[in-house]
Amino acid sequence: MLGWGRSNNWLTHMHGTVVHKKLRFGPFELSIGERVLRRDGRVLPLGDRALDILTYLADRPGEVIAKQALINHVWSDVIVEEGTLRVHVAAIRKALRDGQFGNRYIANVKGRGYSFVGTVAPLAGGTESSNAKFAPQGRPPVRPMMIGRETVVGEVSEKLRNERFVTLLGPGGIGKTTVALAVARAAAEEFGRSVHFVDLETLTDPRHVAGAVATSLGFALRSKDSGLELVDLVRSQKLLIILDNCEHVIEAVALLAEQLYQGSEQIYLLATSRELLKVGGEHCWRVLPLDFPPVGSEQTANAVLRYPAVQLLARRVAARAGSFVLTDEEAPFVAEMCRKLDGIPLAIELAAGQVAALGLKNTVARLELLKLGHRSAVARHQTLKATLDWSYNLLSEGERIVLRRIAPFVGQFTLEGARYVAGELGIGTEETFDAIAGLVEKSLIATQIDETQVMYRLLDTTRAYALEKLEEHAEVDAVLRRHGQYVAGHLESRSYPVGN
């Protein structure tokens, strides 16, 4: 990928001497040889098992480590439950103050394991003579499992290298963060490991955005104009800064990103968001759903397994059930499930748990899109409903009204159709048009432009959520009546779909 390689982070062995590395991330220093974690020179109390876990993760930044692999490494001689691992990870997070001021070190990667997402820099550490035979702590880093995204990672890497500022755009659960981490991993060598991941999800005050970025870079800001101060501090450095989960503090992120981009020719920015930052220098890259078998396609096991959405489902079911072999009889059910889930990776990951427990046929028959959950995911990704709640709560009141009122449309619909159905109950034409534009910008409505006009569509998962909101607001009868009137009035016109 354009020469962007990877660096090895495991212990080295030279002339019979074991070189015990020291790793630096934020204000912390981890001495692997001494088995000590320090903050600003002060030793922090951390148990042996927690230190083993932290070392294993920090020595492989960006790599997704399966929970079972961590358990096998740390408790090789005993059998422990996954809950024990979670307790020790919680202790590490407490010691690192993980999540404070937007600074993140250990991330749960949806249904897959843990990843160290802090920026790690090796320090010059002392060497300790050892007569013992060197045993490497783990293997060279392997790339985290991605399906159907390899080409995207390469293309985004090239775009970032040429343009310096790229925003990965898409709805919740589409895999923006996964792509961003893969791009960062590929770029690590190019940037001399000056790759900084800033998770903005936990921020509630936009005024803390610049401080969160500065903390990730190892700075403490002091002036009132924090953005310009940060630019002055990093102007001469070559950095890649990943701004993850921007949508809820979008204005503050946009201002800071523009300042960083314009203030230096060596600062590269990769943002993930459900809407664009809309500032100078930004280039959009829309992250699309995984391809899934379309209606009418061949439905054998070999045929459907050519599609990334099916491959992801099969692998995740196998990871949960121990093994999984897709048969020709089951292939149509898998194809139908991936279509219902719109090829959204998060939805597929969550559905895999039910497949492992209930089987394919039963899962398809009772697929509850908005109630699938995963305990190890971040709060807003624990269920599809939580993911959509996150987006819905960021909408204006007009956008919320229009979103729920266009829920009766199945498939494509027109702007005029949306105006007719959504605009009758106290919302005007211009407000409806502005709301539709806003919903498109926020990745909640998909668009397709043909030769004559723009067509709109809600993903099935979003539509199911919007129908729930329609019921909550007691508007079902009135809106369905308007939708029926609209469809009836256009039955004879086949110039465009009506979304009936």
Tens digit of each residue's pLDDT (9 = 90 or more) over 223-259: 778 889 999 988 888 889 999 989 999 999 999 999 9
Distance separating the N- and C-terminal Cα atoms of the chain: 45
Q: Residue 75: what pLDDT?
A: 74
Could you tell me the pLDDT band of residue 101, with boundaries at 50, 70 and 90? Answer: low
Q: Residue 302 in 3-state DSSP? A: helix
What is the token pair recorded at 184?
């960062």
Q: Residue 143: what pLDDT?
A: 41
Q: Residue 56: what pLDDT?
A: 84
Helices (H), 37-167: 48-58, 67-74, 82-96, 150-163
Contacts of 41 (CB under 8 A, 6+ apart): none
Cα distances (Å, whole numbers) of residue 338 to 308, 334, 376, 457: 10, 6, 22, 17
How many distinct helices (H) and strands (E) make up the chain? 19, 19
Q: Residue 308: what pLDDT?
A: 94
**H helix or E strand, kind and range, residue 480:** helix 476-489
Could you tell me the pLDDT band of residue 34, with boundaries at 50, 70 and 90? Answer: low
Q: Residue 169: what pLDDT?
A: 95
Contacts of 269 (CB under 8 A, 6+ apart): 164, 165, 166, 240, 241, 243, 257, 260, 261
Tell me the per-residue pLDDT of 261-316, one tens digit each, with 9 for 90 and over: 999 899 999 999 999 999 999 999 999 999 999 988 999 999 999 999 999 998 88
Most confident of 305-309, 320-324, 415-419, 494-498: 305-309
Question: Contact at 8 Å (CB) between 170 and 64?
Answer: no
Mean pLDDT check: name the lowest of 99-108, 228-237, 452-461.
99-108
Helix axes 331-340, 308-321, angle to 10 degrees: 110
Q: Which residue has the higher pLDDT, 321 or 245?
A: 245
Could you tell me the pLDDT band of residue 33, with boundaries at 50, 70 and 90? Answer: low
Q: Which residue has the higher pLDDT, 388 or 401?
A: 401
Q: How many percent of the chain have pLDDT more than 70?
A: 78
pLDDT greater than 60 at residue 499: no
Torsion of CA 25, 28, 32, 34, to 10 degrees: 160
Q: Residue 136: what pLDDT?
A: 21
Could you tell me the pLDDT band of residue 181, with boundaries at 50, 70 and 90? Answer: confident
Q: What is the rounded distance in angstroms from the CA atom of residue 143 to the CA atom of residue 1?
A: 13
Q: What is the rounded distance in angstroms from the CA atom of residue 338 to the CA atom of residue 292?
A: 6
Q: Residue 130: what pLDDT?
A: 31
**H helix or E strand, kind and range, residue 105:** none
pLDDT greater than 60 at residue 124: no
Tell me the per-residue pLDDT of 347-399, one tens digit each, with 9 for 90 and over: 888 888 778 777 777 777 666 554 555 444 444 444 677 778 888 888 999 99
